[in-house]
Amino acid sequence: MVAEDLKLAIRGLSVVFTRRRGGTVTAVEHLNLGVRDEEFVSIVGPSGCGKSTLLRIVAGLIRPTSGEVLLDNRPVEGPGADRGMVFQSYTLFPWLTVQGNVEFGLRLRGTPAEERQEVVRRYLDLVGLRGTEPAYPKELSGGMQQRVAIARAMANEPAILLMDEPFGALDAQTRSVMQELLLRVWEQTHKTVLFVTHDIDEAILLSDRIYVMTSRPGRIKTEVAVTLPRPREVSVMDTPEFIALRQRVHGLIREETLRVLDEERPTGGGSAGG
């Protein structure tokens, strides 16, 4: 891919953490990836591969040790409203109503009240929560809170939406409803999304492309194009194409998990590439 075509480009990214008791851990090593405009891209990988770290670097919340992150060809220096993020944990501000939460970013920018009202209405509509404006987060279920969090991030109209296992804390039923909702939201908005998950089905259902990461130190092991036609329905998960993709991605992650298990044996150690 040519860099200029990309909405988001990550080049030669490495993250080395210093341990408290001395020594260093390489979380991410020389990682390259790109996301095109209006593309939904997922990152999957074995647990601890640094996929959440990667997302936080794009958000500007963590500084990489080396390498660069470019959004619309401009380097990312710190956090900003052009990269909205939805977290796995519930992060709605409990002292603000749903309305107050969704318009939080707009208020910071000094958007006038009528316009804020309009935007809040539009995005609550999008996530199917019109009418909950005066409610406080504690009155909402976990799934509803995450929907408001999505509306809050999107109301800011970021260039890219970063999602860090946004449905990871939800029960299986709610999770599948949320995946369907996000699918519908994406098909209406075509927002550029970088999505981190360890749920392979979720990644395939939602994405145009999937990056599979190696186990620590995290690198891109391979890239899988999801060729399933859009608009998609949940029923696509029963098609042979979907099942073939699932097997392939599953196999790739399993390789990594096994590699780690092998290295953890007393004879192993080090960080041989894979």
Partner 1 sequence: MKRDRPGLLARLSEILRPHEPISRSAYLAGVGASAAGLFSLWAILTYGGFVTPLFLPSPSDIVRAAAALIADGSLAEHTWASVSVIVTGWVLAVLLAVPLGILMGTLKFVESLVEPVVNFVRYLPVSAMIPLLILYIGIGTSQKVAVIFIGTFFQLILLISDVSAGVPKDLLDSAYTLGASRADVFGRVLLPATLPGVMDNLRITMGWAWTYLIVAELVAANRGLGYMILDAGRGLFTDRIFVGLFTIGLLGFVFDLTFKRLHKLLLPWSPKI
Does the protein bind partner 1 through residue 64 (CB under 8 A)? no
Sequence-ordered list of residues with C-beta below 8 angstroms from that of 251, at least 6 positions apart, any chain: none
Does the protein bind partner 1 through residue 272 (CB under 8 A)? no
Does the protein bind partner 1 through residue 191 (CB under 8 A)? no
Largest CA distance in the chain: 66
Segment near partner 1 (CB under 8 A), from 26-34, 46-54, 82-90, 255-263? 82-90
Sheet arrangement for strand 74-75: 24-36, 6-18, 66-71, 74-75
Size of the site for partner 1 (CB under 8 A): 29
Helix ranges restricted to H, the chain: 51-59, 98-102, 104-108, 113-126, 142-155, 172-189, 200-206, 240-263
Does the protein bind partner 1 through residue 94 (CB under 8 A)? yes
Tokens of 16: 């080395």
Distance CA 70, CA 83 (A): 12
Segment near partner 1 (CB under 8 A), from 19-27, 39-47, 152-160, 206-214? 152-160
Tokens of 190: 């075509």
Does the protein bind partner 1 through residue 228 (CB under 8 A)? no
The residue from 14, 36, 60, 255 that contacts partner 1 (CB under 8 A) is 60
The minimum distance between CB 197 and partner 1, in angstroms, equals 17
List interacting residues with partner 1 (CB under 8 A).
Answer: 56, 59-61, 79-81, 83-85, 87, 89, 91, 93-96, 104-105, 108-109, 136-138, 149, 152-153, 156, 162
